[in-house]
Structures are given as C-alpha cells and as structure tokens.
Structure 1
Amino acid sequence: MTATSTLPERVDDAEVRVLLLENIHADGADFLRGKGYQVETMTRALSEDELIEKIAGVHVLGIRSTTYITEKVLQAADSLLAIGAFCIGTNQIDLAATTRHGVAVFNAPYSNTRSVVELAIAEIISLARRLHEKSTSMHAGVWNKSAAGSHEVRGRTVGIVGYGNIGSQLSVVAEALGMSVVFYDIDDKLALGNARRCSTLEELLEVSDVVTLHVDGRPGNAGLFGDEEMRRMKPRSLFLNLSRGIAVDTAALRQHIESGHIAGAALDVFPVEPKAQGDPFVSELQGLANVILTPHVGGSTEEAQQDIGRFVASKLRTYTAFGGTSLSVNLPEITLKSDGQRHRLAHLHQNAPGVLARINGILGDHEVNIESQSLSTRGEVGYVITEVAAEVGPDVLAELASMPETVRLRQLS
C-alpha cells in the first residue's frame, strides 16, 4: 500500500460541502443541513466524467447504486473525506482505492431489509397465482376466471440463495406463510426456524419450487445463475432475483421461460440499468408472460428510504466531525463519544509495526499530553484517535503528517 500523506486537515461545519446524488431521501439532506453543512442534491446518477467534473471541493459524497466511484474519480476528489452509500451494496465503489486515498465509506446494511423481503413475498404470491397476467388481461378487457396454473404457496419449498440479512428474514416470513425453506450460502450461517441448509447450490435447485437470489455484488457472483443452473431447477418452478443484476444470465432465463421449464420470474435488478428516471429500459425479458419486471425498487419504500437517509447521514456526520468509524465498510472501527472539551487527532496509516509508538514519541517530544487514545487495525491500514486537552501546533501536525506510514491526518475539535 502506498502512503498518500497529506497536509493536516481541519474543516469547520460551515465549510463542509456535501453532494447527494440519485434522489436520496430529503431527511438525509435535512439532517446534514441542520449541522451547518452546505448540501447540494441531484435526482440522478452521474457518469464517471460528470462526477470528475463535479467532485472538486466536495467533502462528503452520497450515492445509491448507479453512481460508480473509481480510481479516476478519487484522484479528482481533492477534498473528499467520506462517501455514503445510501443503500445496502457497495460494489459500485472501489473500496481498495477509497482506503488508499483515506476516504471512509459507510452504507446502510440493514435499513431496507424488510422492504426487500416484502417485495419478494409479494412477487412469489403474484407469480404463483399469475396475478400479473390476470391484471394485464383485465386491463385489456378480457375476463379470464380460470384457475389453470394458479397455485397456493402454502406447502411449497422456497430455496434462498444467500442467507444474509435479507435472505434470513425472508426465511422467517416465508415459513410463517406455510412454506418450507432451504438455503445455500458460501459462509456458515445459522438456520432460523425450521429452515434447512443445503451443502451445494445444486441440492437447493433440485428441491425448490421457488428459487430466489439474495447475494452481494462481489465479482465472484457475476454469472452465478446461468443456463446450467436453470436446467437443474424443478420443472415449472419460479425464479426471483432481487439482489444483483450481474448474477443472472437474462438471455438464458428467457429461453427457459419460453420453453416452459421455468413457469414465471420476477426481477428487480438488471445487468445494465438506466441512470435517471424516465431513461429508456431494454431487457430480453420484456414481453414474456408471467414475468414481473420492477425498476430496482426492492428497498424503495418511504419507510426504508427515510431510515436509510437518516442512518447514513448520521454516520457521515459522526466521521467528519468526530472521526468515528462505527460500521465503516473500509476503515478500522473506532467509536468514541465526544465530551466537547477535548481535541482529537485522527491518524489513518499503513498497518506497520511501531507506528503508534512513533506517534506518541512525536507528541511526547513536543510535550503534548495524551488524555485518551484508541487504535484499531483492518487489513493494510490502522486508525488511531488521540484526544488532547488543547489544539496542537502546526509543527506537531507537520511532523505527524510527514511520517512515511501516514495516509491521512485530521485535527478535530
């Protein structure tokens, strides 16, 4: 890891510039404005080139799932302290690069879990009852009261691929509806209720009447579900993807729906998604019977977006003002309450032996008394917050910043 030592930074609340993209809930912007921050909002995502032009002077950036944070963007971000992903996933952010640049990343790993679960349940029932088809026929003036192809979900087996926050809660709700639950996860997860863990994905596919994906966006999940996996599914089973568009081969899915092997599908995410409201959308799955397509709205309920707005904005404020990194995606975690009396030095550095001793040696040489100190490490970086009674002088800060291991140094009130 290459050190990116910078001059000591201090930004007062009134100087903090915030850019929030992709129609983030107003509660998040209002919270940050209430702290004195200068907040600019935009309703759409920005391309890499657009973001490079826009990000100079921005201290805090808020995005959702469609704006990508690359090395080029970070190189252009001359003031960026933190990024808030107002969603669950962070695969749209180059986390290794943000860490190298000393930029903290926060997300909302739990805030929209219930919203996604409720959409999954609604779509399972709708597909099983073929409600989408019946509604379309009614709008076209056709009365079709036939029960053919319409089934209850009670007694059916749902196979959950990915048993994290969403998958596990879906497990509980599905079981409450009378469904049997099996799941597959590459990590060792504790089964909830009467759910049964499958040792392989193939085992899950062979027994499930409904297969629903709830995986993250790590590169290994690209192409997770293709022609081979669909062939292994039970005839006339249902398929859902409310996780990541890159996980599914949609062309193969169309073939299996057209052949009748898969009886219906619901997708909320796609390999390529429009950047703004009203932009055109194209998919191989358009026009198919008993296929529900939704525009990445799994977490888009008023309740979830409000919770996410408040939660992530609070994390961004805590970090910029006090240095706290609780639930940071990429930096070591330190949680300290501020009594408003002490000053803080926040030092992000390469995780190497002796760094803390050298920091304390510099402070001791300048007769700076340490009142409290917390250190945490994570992978290649370490993070230490040192509380002192008074602001330290520029000579002390310059010496700390010039340490070869220093990634970022900030002085906080």
Structure 2
Amino acid sequence: MAQPAAPLREAGATGTRRALLLENIHADARALLSEAGWQVETAPGALDETELVERLDGVSLLGIRSQTQVTAAVLEAARDLRAVGAFCIGTNQVDLFAAAERGVAVFNAPYSNTRSVVELALAEIIALTRRLTVKDRAMHAGVWDKSAAGSHEVRGRRLGIVGYGNIGSQLSVVAEALGMSVFFYDTTDKLALGNARRCGSLHEVLEIADVVTLHVDGRSSNTGFFGEAEFARMRPGSIFLNLSRGFVVDHGALRRHVESGHLAGAAVDVFPQEPKGSGQAFDSELRGLDNVILTPHVGGSTEEAQEDIGRFVAAKLRDYVLHGTTTLSVNLPALATEHAPGTVRLVHLHRNVPGVLAAINGVLADEGVNIEGQQLATRGDLGYVVTDIAAPASEEVGRRLRQLPETVRVRQLG
C-alpha cells in the first residue's frame, strides 16, 4: 500500500516531532529522544486499540512493551507513524506485515535482557529444587520445619532447555557452571555450547530432564505447545519453568500435574491473559499451589536490563527517522549507512521487483538531481534504497517517486 500524498521532506523535520512511550519504558529512552528533538509523551500502562488510535494522531515514534497490541487497524489509522520500538525481546504484539506494508519500521531488543531472564530462571530452579517456597510459607505461618526431605542440590541434576536461542544458550552455559548436565531441543540446528547435548525431539528432553524450562518464541504456531501429553512425559518429581510466552502452556494441565505430585514444582512468569498495568487484579488457576512460583512477567525486569533496552531501542528509532538506518529492524531490509556531511538523504521503500532502482534513478536524472552516494538492500518482498544527493529534492521529485507503482514510502531527510 503506497503512502498518502505528503510533503517530500520528513514530517516534523523542521517542526515538533512527537513520540509516545507506553508501559513504563525506562526514562533513558525518553531522555535520548528528547535530546534528539522529540516531544515525548508517556503512559504507565498499555492502551487498547481504540485508545491507541486516538493517542497516535501526529505521533511519529511509538514505544511499547509486551502488552500493547499494534494491529493492522492501528497502523492504518496512524498515518504519521514512522517507527515502532518494542522495548522487549518479542515482537508478536505488532503486526509486522501490516507495518512493513505501510513503511513503518519495527525494532526490538533481542539481547539486552538475556542475562536478567537467565538469572531469574536459575534462581527459580534453585528455589524449587530446595523447596524454599514451602519452607518460606511455613516460617511465615510460624512453623519451624527443619527437614531435608524433598530438598536437593542442583549440582548433578539434568536441565532440559526447550528453545536454544539467546536465553536458552546462555542459561545452558551458566547452569553447567553450577554443575548441572544440560540437554536441549530446538526446531532449528543450533551449536551446542560447552558440554550441552542436543536432543532429537522434545520427547527425548522430557524423558531425560529433572528440570524442564521453556524459552520458545511468540509465533502463533506455538499456541498450546506444551500441554497434558508433554507434562505426562516428564519424569516423576521433576520441575517445570515457563519464562517465554503465556499462551504456549496449558495451565490447567500444569495444575493437575502439580496437585497429583507428578511434578515437584513449577515457576511461571508469563500468562495467557495479563493485566495491562501494575496494581491491577490478577487471577490464575495456578494460584495457591505448593512449590509454585508465580511472577508478574518480570523475567527481563531488572534495572540494568531496562536501562539497556531503553537506550538501545530508542537509539534505533532515532537513527531510523533521522538517518534512515534500518540495522536490526525486524521487518524492513537492513542498511547501516553513514550520512555524508553536506548532503540530503532520500530513502525509498518499495516492492522488491526488477527495475525499481533504475526507475528511481531515472526520476532523479530527469529532475537534475545529482547523486553523491547510493545503497540498496532487499528483504523478501521489500527493497530499500538510500540515496544521498547534493541538495534538497523538489516536491516534483517526491510526487514522481510516489507515483512509481512499486513505492511503499519515500522520505527526504535533512
């Protein structure tokens, strides 16, 4: 879908740029964008679709975390939007295809909170293996229960990691340093780190591991990924963790296997339905179970991780709008470019079909535009051309570039 008619120069380039940051994104993100010339508005919680559409009028940058859903309807209504920053790992809350169709870049932070999630997983593995939750509850109730029954060291126990990406692989290394034997399963071929051993199937991991931890991504095909059959295959007395996505696990099945004693404990950080903001009511069928740790989606919520994420994603948003840089965008072709002093930059997102670059350069030649430098990148159905020119292009150049049938969005940067 081609962009609507608009001035060639980027909207807000000489006026007020506006950004909207939701869900308590770290203050460093606001500071970085403010220093770069944006007027930044914030909100503590998530917004629903109607609220988001209303708030995005005139907004060029949107920052969210995991709860705000950026749907195709939101993107269609948000005509001023240039980029979305997911200040978290996942991007399944954003319609990436619809964003690309409208020339809206999406960025995330795939690495910044990895260590925080790993440390929480390890803390929970130790706490559950030692049954610290049960001991803690008894002590608060005034009961002194000094017993080693059911309490174990993690050293020598077998950890099964399902999903061996950034988090799973780092957890593998640190768990092995604690003396655990690591087994993992991933749908893609991943290099085993240290002494970790790759399993050929999920079932193989479940039948081996004393602790099973999920670190899968948020693709829709993972819905209901882990349920009754998978819990039944786990070893008696084993422990289960999910710090990935709430919708991948059948919580009713998990409750039954904890209550029956088949599982010795569980830790869950993510839920199918989560409150939009802090302080709101929370309910789950997992509440009230012995040796079950429930946390409010805080795997990556350390001050260190949120500070890193705030700076990282905000810088990606800034660099995209000001310089056209798309490095680590999850939905647009990737280009890392240096902006030559004294030049003006044209960025052109288009359908990836033969002849587009020639057509663009034909327009520039016809209009007497001198090209100082040019780069092209493609990704699937999209192509992205960054052209540095000697002087600002006329509105006629913009009109003709927009009229190219392959054009998705064209911008001129100062």
Q: Deviations over 1:201-241 (max 9, x none)?
A: 00110000000000110011111100000000001100000
Code of the residue aligned with 1:354 in structure 2: it is: G
- State the identity %: 65
RMSD, aligned α-carbons: 0.9
Partner of 2:302: 301
Partner of 2:134: 133
Q: Deviations over 1:77-130 (max 9, x none)?
A: 020000000000000001011011110000000000000000000000000001
Partner of 1:33: 34
1:44 corresponds to 2:45: yes
Aligned residues: 412
Partner of 1:84: 85
CA shift, 1:271, in A, is 0.5
Partner of 2:161: 160
3-state SS in 1 of match to 2:50: helix
Deviates more, 1:229-238 or 1:397-406: 397-406
CA shift, 1:340, in A, is 3.2
**2:360 & 2:54 partners in 1: Cα distance?**
37
**2:2 & 2:181 partners in 1: Cα distance?**
52
CA shift, 1:6, in A, is 4.1
Partner of 1:12: 13
Partner of 1:245: 246
Partner of 1:97: 98
Q: TM-score, normalised by structure 2?
A: 0.98
**2:398 & 2:5 partners in 1: Cα distance?**
11
Code of the residue aligned with 1:71 in structure 2: it is: A
**1:287 & 1:367 partners in 2: Cα distance?**
73
Partner of 1:218: 219
| Preserved CA contact (<8 Å) 1:5 1:407 | no
1:72 corresponds to 2:73: yes
**2:102 & 2:332 partners in 1: Cα distance?**
11
| Preserved CA contact (<8 Å) 2:241 2:267 | yes
Partner of 1:330: 331
3-state SS in 1 of match to 2:301: coil
Code of the residue aligned with 2:406 in structure 1: it is: E
Counterpart mapping for 1:5-404 below 5 A: 6-7=5-6, 8-10=8-10, 11-12=12-13, 14-404=15-405
After the TM superposition, which segments of 4 or more aligned residues of structure 1 sit over 2 Å from their partners? 2-9
Partner of 1:406: 407
Q: Deviations over 1:42-67 (max 9, x none)?
A: 11100111111111111000000000
Q: Could you list the runs of 5+ residues in structure 2 that have no partner in the other structure? A: none
3-state SS in 2 of match to 1:217: coil
Q: Could you list the runs of 5+ residues in structure 1 that have no partner in the other structure? A: none
| Preserved CA contact (<8 Å) 2:25 2:64 | yes
**2:342 & 2:171 partners in 1: Cα distance?**
46
**2:5 & 2:211 partners in 1: Cα distance?**
53
| Preserved CA contact (<8 Å) 1:3 1:350 | no
**2:407 & 2:145 partners in 1: Cα distance?**
70
| Preserved CA contact (<8 Å) 1:13 1:321 | no
Q: TM-score, normalised by structure 1?
A: 0.98
